[in-house]
Structure 1
Amino acid sequence: MPHLDVTRLRLPSGPRADMALAGIVLVLTGVAEGQRLGSNRDATASVIGSWLLAAAVCAALPLRRRHPVAVGWFTVIGTGVYYLLSTVDGPLVVVPVAALYALAAQGRTQASVAMAAVMVIGVGAGVLVGTGDVNGTAVFMLTGWLVAVVALGTMRHSRVAYAEEQARLLATQERLRIARELHDVIGHNMSMIHVQASSALHRLHKDPTQAQEALTAIKQGSKEGLRELRTTLGVLRQVDEEAPTAPSPGLSDIDELVSSTARAGLDVRIQQSGTASPLPASVDLAAYRIVQEALTNAVKHSGARHVVVRIHHGERELTLSVQDDGHGAAPSRNEDGSGIAGMTERARTLGGTLSAEPASAGGFTVRARLPFSDHQEPIGGAADDQDPAGG
């Protein structure tokens, strides 16, 4: 005997749900009108007219997605006329109620409220005329049902709008994260290449040997930049795949960063103090990126020749200081997630602070404080900001 898996049963949705609801209501209305015809043979013409009107109302419901307001008004008016012609309290009222909910769920609150008011007024007028089919209690109950339906539809619209806004916000944050990563990964190498290319052009005729050294540095820098770009784009193309397993860059890779900066003619000294211990991945990555961006700005904007990077390992925070001897001009404060704005965002994500300003003795200084709660547990926020290049 075949086994029925109820977990695979799915209720219809979309246009099929409208057609299913309209079909069920039409069948029930037809059954009710049939009973009326069986009890009164003289009402044949009235029964046929009522059934045709009910069929028109039910047939209009699947069209509500294309013409929501027009279908809503048609079902409300058609149902009202049906109850004037028929003596059967059939289920046809379900159709305009469904149309009202759909309108409210789409954010068309004024139209749904107006239709609900027309329905209540129509039923109330029937009570005042004294048709005998409805009374004051029925009007009160109908009003409560309609208010509830419109309120539920409005709540549904608000929830959907909130979810869409959250999705847009997350998408914007992801775009900024990707832009910041691309800037950090590629910007450093491109800046070094630019400086070396300018040096090579200047020395090409005066000192071919130094020009050759600059071109060699350009070749190496462009090779590294291309590798990191391919790695980054490869990670961005991954869909429903495992996260990259390559380690994120950190302060342990700072010597390589200094070497690439030295090829641009910048003398970098590293001074470390405190007790060095394993850092949370988020803090380690943020520290590396801040130093990288500060060195890039020193090459691009300050005209510096010497830079001192000071790193202090505290018990619950890491402090950084990158000071150059340039002319002290600050790079533009970009708002797209790069430059000083990107460094500040990284620090704030960890609950820290960052300042970037000309030094009193000349040059430009970047200072950052990156707190952490536990050496062995990554801190949320930048922990997910993994560098796809893998250092």
Structure 2
Amino acid sequence: MQAMFNHWRRWLAAHDRARDTLPAAVVLFVALWATAVPSDGHGWTWPRPAELGWITLACVPLVFRSRAPLVVAAVVTVLEVLARAATGTQALVPGASLVAVYTVASLRPRRTAWITAATVAVAVAATAVGVGLGDQSGVATSVLVRIDLVLLAAGLGDAVRSRRAKLALVEQRAVLAEQTREEEARRRVTEERVRIARELHDVVAHHITLVNAQAGVAQHLVRTDAEKAYRALGAIKETSRAALEELRATVGLLRQADDSPPSLAPAPGLEDLDGLVDGFRRTGMTVDVTRTGAARPLTPATGLAAYRIVQEALTNTHKHAGSATAHITLVYGPDTLRLTVADDGDGTARPGPGTGHGLIGMRERATAFGGTLTAGTSPRGGFRVHAELPLPAPKGNR
């Protein structure tokens, strides 16, 4: 039974004309039945032709009630008023006008609906008084009943409209929530993709640069100093191993399921700076480090950003400045770490135009934690990278 009801409901929802015609047919049947049964309840008679014609005429506009509800309400009300005035009987129930008022209330704003209902109620009441027969109490009761019916139709229509609006709002919020979740997911995927690309660039650029430099040293010494060439090859082996480990850890992030535990390998930080500098020194590059101020530990994320900035700056110096000397300066302020990597090269060793990804990555790392980064040629010659990263507040000041 419920399945059949749902089937017809869906069918009526897809056919506007049938949905609008059904109430008109019901009203026509009820009106004919009311006029066919005598007031004493005995016997049954056919409606008079005039009554039959007016009843049918008043129901016809309901077929178009969804397209023009206000126009249909006005036409139906006028036809019912004319029908009562022409037939001079109270038997005609205001069924068509009730359906019209309900339609207006369910499809139009509340203010418009109640103004329409009040107008129809006044017209129906006035018509009932004008054709009233018998004692005044019977007329008064008939008038009140008709007004109540009109107001009830308006209330039902308003309730249906409110329910539709509420359901539409709930559906809109659900769609918006789904879109927001999708956008948030896409944003997180994009951020993770950029982060992994940045990590891959830093790891590959750094280690391949070191391998290239150590291979050049080994090639130069293999015929003149076999011992040094052997040590250079050993350095290539260690650098390659470190590169593979970092690549394996970074690429492993792409293969993890959403609920996989994070890698237990510690991320590099400024405490690993000496090892990074030693790697470049083994390639023959001169690097000096100056620390100023009371050093204190950074957060793991900020420490990784500082490490990668120094790593990328030294890699660029080695690729583009030849045998220049690199100067690393760390200045610990009250709430800021000022990090500078400068070289005294002239750029003559530049092998070709760079992609610019290194500078972009360094700047993104700094700004991701509320810091800043500038890069460019130094007034004294060479290239200079300067970053300022926020430091966590000392424990005593928290």
Change (3 A) 1:261 1:24: farther
- Post-superposition offset of 1:241: 2.8
Where does residue 349 of structure 1 map in the other structure? 368
Q: How well do the aligned residues superpose, as a CA RMSD in angstroms?
A: 3.3
Q: List runs of 5+ in structure 2 lacking aligned partners.
A: 29-63, 77-95, 110-160
Q: Distance in 2 between matches of 1:247 and 1:235?
A: 14
The aligned length equals 285
Where does residue 232 of structure 1 map in the other structure? 250
SS at 1:272 equivalent: strand
Q: Are 1:365 and 2:317 matched, yes or no?
A: no
Q: Distance in 2 between matches of 1:234 and 1:75?
A: 57
- Amino acid across the alignment from 1:79: R
- Post-superposition offset of 1:304: 3.7
- Post-superposition offset of 1:208: 5.3
Where does residue 269 of structure 1 map in the other structure? 288
Tell me which of 184, 188, 194 is aligned to 2:212: 194
Where does residue 7 of structure 1 map in the other structure? none
Where does residue 42 of structure 1 map in the other structure? none
Q: Mark the structure with the bigger radius of gyration.
A: 2
Q: Distance in 1 between matches of 2:191 and 2:10?
A: 46
Q: List runs of 5+ in structure 1 lacking aligned partners.
A: 1-22, 28-53, 61-71, 89-117, 378-391
Query: Could you give the per-residue CA deviations for residues 214-248 of structure 1, whole angstroms, max 9, x where no partner exists?
Result: 33222111111112222223344332133333332
Change (3 A) 1:87 1:167: farther
SS at 2:381 equivalent: coil
- Percent identity between the aligned chains? 36
- The TM-score, its normalising length taken from structure 2, stands at 0.62
SS at 2:107 equivalent: helix
- Amino acid across the alignment from 1:225: A
Q: Point out the more displaced range, 356-365 or 195-204.
A: 195-204
SS at 1:189 equivalent: helix
Tell me which of 112, 121, 142 is aligned to 2:67: 121
Where does residue 140 of structure 1 map in the other structure? 105
- Post-superposition offset of 1:25: 7.8
SS at 2:314 equivalent: helix
Q: Distance in 1 between matches of 2:17 and 2:167?
A: 18
SS at 1:310 equivalent: strand
- Amino acid across the alignment from 2:303: D
2:65/2:72 contact within 8 Å kept: no
TM alignment of 1:380-391, pairs within 5 A: none
- Amino acid across the alignment from 1:139: V
Q: Distance in 2 between matches of 1:119 and 1:248?
A: 71
Bigger RCO of structures 1 and 2 (CA < 8 A, at least 6 apart): 1
TM alignment of 1:295-334, pairs within 5 A: 295-328=314-347, 332=354, 334=356
Q: Distance in 1 between matches of 2:255 and 2:67?
A: 59
- Amino acid across the alignment from 1:362: G
Change (3 A) 1:183 1:24: farther
1:313/1:319 contact within 8 Å kept: yes
Query: Could you give the per-residue CA deviations for residues 350-375 of structure 1, whole angstroms, max 9, x where no partner exists?
Result: 22211111112221111111123424
Where does residue 55 of structure 1 map in the other structure? 7
- Post-superposition offset of 1:151: 5.4
